[in-house]
Chain A
Amino acid sequence: MLMAVKNNLKVACLSIKYNLMKQMVNKTSFIMNILFMMLNNAFFIIQWLVIFSIKSDINGITLNGVLKLWAMSASTYGFGMFFFYGAFDLNETITNGLLDTFLVQPKNVLLMVATSKIRVSAIGDMLYGLVIMIFIKSSLRELILFIIFSMMGGTIFAAFGVITGCLGFISPRSDGLSNSLISILVSVSTYPKEIFDKGVQFIISFIIPVASTVYLPCNLIFNFDIKVFLVLLISLIIHVSLAFFLFNKGLKRYSSTNLMTPRT
């Protein structure tokens, strides 16, 4: 059993490695993608600078707080998108019948699909998070916690991507919905929860896992609390289990197509 898990992870890592090698073939494009993503994220600082120039304190939120949030958000997103990019366009993969290749291989289909692609710009996101953390002069302990929580948050994020992607098993026209749900998670996570009212805060804590992926980890880094950490861990287990469960259930309904892919 453990051997099987080890083998699955081994192939998953190989898949990520080969994808990375493939992307690095064009060095200029590779580096440009990363730098542009970092620049892309930095743009939002301008947005906040303008806001803070109009009003320097918004419901207790400060620029420093926003930077920490951004760092966590970018890093979590980056981790999830880099290692498990296949989880985010799962809906299209299902609808276009591209699961076939993975179904005829003796490995866990979901893990293989999730690691079948990487997103180079996500490296930019992860780096950006680190840069911000260094910029705000975090301690070594905080940096280590930051990395660990990025990994946990990123995995929950990917699991959420899978859960929404499974809508593709139900309807071929649901990719809009899947993508919308993911974008809610991504968009909201860069805004402090203080700007929302209680009702919304409930939704983003328990339905769309913004709290688990970004808010909670962000707080934990600077104010570690074992109880909150356990909540995070439980959230991780629930999301990942649900992802696998729904995906395997969905496979029973899978109907592939005779799509011809170009030989490139």
Chain B
Amino acid sequence: MKAVEVKNLSKSFKTRIKEKGLKGSLKSLVKSEYEIKKAVNDITFDVEEGEIVAFLGPNGAGKSTTIKMLTGILERDEGDIKIMGIDPSTDRKKLAKSIGTVFGQKEQLWTHLTPYDNFKFFGSIYDVPDDEVEERIKEFNELFELDDIMNTPVRNLSLGQRIRCEIIASLIHKPKILFLDEPTIGLDPIVKDKIRYLIKKMNKEYNLTIFLTSHDIGDIQKLCERIIIINNGEIVTDDSMMEIRRKYFTKKIIKLRTNCEVDFVAKEGIDILKREEEYLKLSLDLKCLNVTDIFHLIPENEISDISVSDVSLESVIKEIYQSN
């Protein structure tokens, strides 16, 4: 059984339009004008059990709308959705027991209660028997290292500690698929790494399918094996990381420090990104040239430092966003 099956999914919203300023406000009192915006337009994709998928798109692309339809929050206009074989429209409660959700910007925990009490509460929500809840709390305690904070009210915890607790609360009922929306937002780099490590561990140990939305490139790079990009309500990319590397990582960024000002003229396959007195930043197209060809263009002895790197995933994604 596939974890997620989406076929020809569509959703539109009706929004009011108003002219600006005081005059516009007065006008809109008398007559309301609406426009219909198609937030999600006929999208189709599948996710296998155990996959970690990044679901990306610029703001307003239809990401949140799609996730909300998958998790049973919004009703779809057209198309089919099956999450672990369950239709969110008809079996919302059954679906709820198979999924976990962590929305980075909306907190679910009771702030005046301790993590322990919170986990017991969520256990009740998901009808998990008390002894099983205790077992899982112990399990997660070890994995997530919560000993120090287990009995501290949530409102006294740092953001990183809270997110860890949110993730555990969403896993207390051992769901098959976890929807994460901006889980590392606002966290410092060390904590981000820790959260990513834990997510990856969950995926390996429990074959947990992860459906991740994030604007953080690090999250995507370190966690995801597959990227789906949505823009203007349509899927524009659906590839494994390897495919994306093959298709888009076709350039190398070369940074050079030279002993003196070098007379360098761009040619086919090389773009000058930045040029200063003794510094050059170039982009080299691997389809035309090899990296070593750079030494034919600039004498070796004039180079005092050189660094060669891939284009960043961030710029690749930006390019994909902008090309649509």
Contacts and interface: CB of A to CB of B under 8 A. Distances in A.
The answer to A–B direct touch (Cβ < 8 A) is yes
Contacts of A100: 68, 73, 103, 106
Interface in B154-195: 155, 159, 162, 186
Contact of B68 (A21, A251, A252, A256): A256
Contacts of A106: 92-94, 96-97, 125-127
B124 A11 contact: yes
Interface in B121-175: 121, 124-127, 155, 159, 162
B125 A256 contact: no
Nearest to A19: B110
A101 B112 contact: no
Contacts of B97: 106
B94 A261 contact: no
Contact of A101 (B92, B93, B108, B186): B108
B75 A22 contact: no
Interface string B76-95: 00000000000000001110
Interface in A89-136: 99-101, 103-107
A141 interface: no
B254 interface: no
B295 interface: no
User: Which of A22, A25, A263 has most chain B Cβ within 10 Å?
Assistant: A263
Contact of B105 (A99, A251, A261, A264): A261
Interface string B280-293: 00000000000000
Nearest to A13: B124
Interface string A248-261: 00011111101011
A97 to B, nearest CB: 9
Nearest to A106: B96
A11 to B, nearest CB: 5
A256 B65 CA distance: 9
A164 to B, nearest CB: 22
A222 interface: no
A261 B107 contact: yes
Given A258-B64, A263-B159, A104 B107 contact: no
Nearest to B14: A255
Contacts of A25: 112
Contacts, number: 74
Contacts of B121: 11, 14, 18
Contact of B13 (A18, A22, A107, A255): A255
Given A261-B105, A264-B111, A264-B155, A104 B124 contact: no
Nearest to B110: A18
A18 B72 contact: no
B41 interface: no
Contacts of B13: 255
A105 B111 contact: no
Contact of B93 (A10, A21, A107): A107
Contact of A104 (B64, B96, B111, B162): B96
Given A105-B96, A256-B68, A22 B74 contact: no
Given A11-B125, A22-B112, A264-B155, A104 B72 contact: yes
A139 interface: no
A22 B111 CA distance: 8
Nearest to B103: A100
A7 B128 CA distance: 11
Interface in B31-82: 64, 68, 71-75
Contacts of A256: 68, 73-74
Contacts of B73: 99-100, 103-104, 254, 256
B101 interface: yes
Contact of A260 (B99, B101, B105): B105
Nearest to B64: A258
A252 B74 CA distance: 8
B113 interface: yes
Given A254-B75, A256-B68, A261-B107, A107 B125 contact: yes
B239 to A, nearest CB: 27
A79 to B, nearest CB: 24
Nearest to A101: B108
Contacts of A251: 75
Contacts of B186: 263
Contacts of B103: 100
A105 B110 contact: no
A18 B108 CA distance: 13
A100 B127 CA distance: 20
A256 B68 CA distance: 8
A261 B74 contact: no
Contacts of A7: 124, 127
- A-B pairs, top 5 by smallest CB distance, nearest first, are A106-B96, A106-B93, A22-B112, A103-B73, A106-B97
19 contacts: A11-B121, A11-B125, A18-B113, A21-B112, A22-B110, A22-B111, A100-B106, A101-B108, A103-B71, A103-B92, A104-B72, A106-B96, A106-B127, A255-B74, A256-B68, A256-B73, A261-B105, A261-B106, A263-B107
Given A14-B121, A251-B75, 5 more contacts: A11-B125, A18-B117, A103-B72, A104-B101, A107-B96
